Amino acid sequence: SIPLGFFGGIGAASRQGILVKGGNYLEALNSVGIVVFDKTGTLTKGSFDVTEVRPADNVERSELLEMVAYAELHSNHPIADSIRKAYGKELDESKVSDYEEISGYGIRVQWSGKTVLAGNAKLMRKEGISFGEEDSFGTVVHAAVDGHYAGQILIADEIKADSADAIRGLKKLGVRRTIMLTGDTSRVGDKVGRSLGIDEVHAELLPEQKVEEIEKLIGSKSPKEKILFVGDGINDTPVLARADVGVAMGGLGSDAAIEAADVVIMTDEPSKLVTAIGIAKRTRRIVW
Ligand code: ADP
Ligand code: MG
């Protein structure tokens, strides 16, 4: 049976908007030595602003924005919201068919009889689309139409106000290693990681490679030490399921993510992780 103290701890956590799915996870929170973060929507706001639209030769700026907005019509990725918002006009669903979201890459879709691709550089390379790589600071969404490069849209995300506090607070509670996994470029990943004081950044990862990173970590640590992964539940449900403690954050993620998670943080504040581990440590003092 579960010691009474665990119920007190679970109740205290729930009053802070943190749902812990059982006493065993509260206990596991006590032994977290490594915290692994997803980037977009977890450490960053995930509400991007379009900062630049760069059409290829022979493509109009408005045409590029329109085709990418249509490509993103059915996506719930934060990138998609920002591009639809920048386009601003109403989208006619009947113009889009054969929608395919390629996790970690982007979108393929039929739009007004044309095949449109919208996503990262990896998607372009995978599909054999050639383009000139330019140095860019933000996240880049590349587009192609019927096999020809159509240009790129630059978008900028922002680090959440309390992400740096969260990293500092975790260190104080004895977390020895912080890691960020991202599907974004190393240029963007390193910038975010450095400004937050995160120990390691692994970038350009597909969702399945994030799972492999977790498995490598699990294989290389002592069984007593726990690995926590926290993500926003978009694209990262398999990672949530694989970590010793999977934390879904923001309440925006899919039902599947909430189901796969061991802990659900209802707000979008990463500092709630510090609160959760703090409660787990106080609960332990009461139980033992
Ligand atoms: P993160 O690991 O930062 O949370 P994701 O795994 O969600 O990022 O996505 C990885 C990358 O895949 C994004 O940075 C983007 O380049 C590309 N991508 C994913 N979904 C989309 C989309 N709907 N439209 C355009 N690009 C996308
Ligand atoms: Mg993500």
CATH number belonging to the domain at 49-156, selected among 3.40.50.1820, 3.20.20.10, 3.40.50.300, 3.40.1110.10: 3.40.1110.10
Region(s) of the chain under CATH 3.40.1110.10: 49-156
Q: Would you say the CB of residue 119 lies under 6 angstroms from ligand 1?
A: yes
Over residues 222-261, the pLDDT tens digits come to 989 999 999 988 888 999 999 999 999 986 567 888 899 9
What is the pLDDT at residue 2? Answer: 53
Q: Would you say the CB of residue 273 lies under 6 angstroms from ligand 1?
A: no
pLDDT of residue 287 exceeding 80: no
pLDDT band, residue 76 (cuts 50/70/90)? confident
Over residues 262-280, the pLDDT tens digits come to 999 999 999 999 999 999 9
What is the pLDDT at residue 1? Answer: 46
**What ipTM was assigned to the predicted interfaces of this complex?**
0.94
Taking the complete model, does pTM exceed 0.90, yes or no?
no
Q: Which ligand is nearest to the CA of 106?
A: 1
Q: Would you say the CB of residue 152 lies under 6 angstroms from ligand 1?
A: no
Region(s) of the chain under CATH 3.40.50.1000: 4-45+158-287
Question: CA torsion, points 116, 122, 124, 126, in degrees to nearest 10?
Answer: -100
Q: Which CATH superfamily is domain 4-45+158-287 in?
A: HAD superfamily/HAD-like (3.40.50.1000)
Nearest CA to ligand 1 atom 24: 106
How far is residue 42 from each of residues 161, 191, 203, measured CA to CA in Å?
A: 12, 15, 15
Q: How far is the CA of 81 from the centre of ligand 1 (A)?
A: 12
pLDDT of residue 153 exceeding 50: yes
pLDDT band, residue 284 (cuts 50/70/90)? confident
pLDDT band, residue 219 (cuts 50/70/90)? very high
The average pLDDT across 191-196 equals 95
- SS3 of residue 62 by DSSP: helix
Mean of per-residue pLDDT scores for the chain: 92
Q: Would you say the CB of residue 79 lies under 6 angstroms from ligand 1?
A: yes
Is residue 132 within 8 Å of residue 33, measured between CB atoms? Answer: no
Best residue among 39, 100, 120 to mutate for probing ligand 1, ranked by most atoms within 8 Å of CB: 120
Q: In what order do the strands lie in the sheet with 18-20?
A: 18-20, 263-265, 245-249, 226-231, 32-38, 177-181, 200-202
- Which of the residues are catalytic? 38
Q: Would you say the CB of residue 250 lies under 6 angstroms from ligand 1?
A: no
Nearest CA to ligand 1 atom 13: 184
107 CB-side CA count, 13 A: 27
pLDDT band, residue 47 (cuts 50/70/90)? confident
What is the pLDDT at residue 110? Answer: 98
pLDDT of residue 200 exceeding 90: yes
